[in-house]
Amino acid sequence: MNGRVASTSCGVSVLRALFVGGLMKDDVLRRLPPEIAAQVSDTEQEELARRLELQDRLAGQLRALPLRETEPSLAVSLERER
């Protein structure tokens, strides 16, 4: 029993190290340009993963918008130039 708890705790620690706020640390770095990813500290990776989870949720809200709502900004600006 004790052994099982110990291995579960260990597993949680490993998982926690791999996943931060639902995102894998490597995923966070892969999303960054390599020249910048190389400079990101461990602490920053954790904070960034937490923030990206929230940011991705915000982006998800917007994906629900119907496509017809595309903003015709070019047409509007061309009209204004006329």
Minimum distance between the CB of residue 64 and other proteins, rounded to whole angstroms?
Answer: 9
Minimum distance between the CB of residue 20 and other proteins, rounded to whole angstroms?
Answer: 14
Q: Summarize as ranges the residues that interact with other proteins (CB under 8 A).
A: 28, 31-33, 35-36, 39-40, 44, 47-48, 51-52, 55, 58-59, 61-63, 65, 69-73
Q: Is 17 or 56 the residue whose CB approaches other proteins more closely?
A: 56
Minimum distance between the CB of residue 18 and other proteins, rounded to whole angstroms?
Answer: 18
Residue 79 sits at the vertex; the CA angle it makes with 73 and 81, to the nearest 5 degrees, is: 105
Distances (CA, A) of 80 to 69, 71, 72: 21, 15, 13
Residue 49 in contact with residue 25, Cβ under 8 Å?
yes
